[in-house]
Amino acid sequence: MRKILYFIMFVALLSVISCAKPGERTRMVDKKLPIEELVDSFMMQHSNYLNNDVTIEEGDKEFQKIVIDTTTNYLEGIPMRLVTINKNGKVYMGQFESWIKPNGFEYQAPVCDVNFDVLTVVPDSLVNTLREKEYYSLEGVVIERIANISVLETLLGKGTIAYTNTFGIRKDDIWDDKYDVNLGLIYFHAKSIKPYSGREKIEEKY
């Protein structure tokens, strides 16, 4: 009886080995963010983008059109730190920033940093749960670009700080093969605001 059992186990093992194709191992890796994929493809297609002031201006306009005039959420997966919440009229407005990254988070090449400030309506149900200087993920769509800090402060209903109005891709000051991505000031429709829990993982064959 024992010999028969061993024989069955041996046959089953051979079956598993024969079904497994060589090289079809998998591992979990960091999923590339939409903004990382966009910058990668955009710079490959616009090799002259940063050549001079004229090409930079034209490139900035084209890049802005892609990010702003689309239903794709290129802010997906980016950790955003809550700056402040303020009640303006009947709605609560929240300002989030991407300038400071959480510990352990880095962008994938060719992106070094992504810099922007986002303004969005915060649902009443979330106001008491959101904490300043904590990181969140925002799902939703870009509504439009905010012209300047004065407009942002008017929409927010109070004075604040936002670091740039620049919109475009620039060479990083330290890494020659990486880029700083500046998205300026953005008015965003957040369908959800959740605590940031890290970069999403996907299964990769190797």
This prediction's pTM = 0.84
- Weakly modelled stretches of the chain, pLDDT under 70: 1-23
94, 133 Cβ separation under 8 angstroms: no
Residues 6+ apart with CB under 8 A from 55: 48, 49
pLDDT score of 19: 52
pLDDT score of 165: 84
* Residue 115, strand partner residues: 182
pLDDT score of 3: 52
pLDDT score of 152: 97
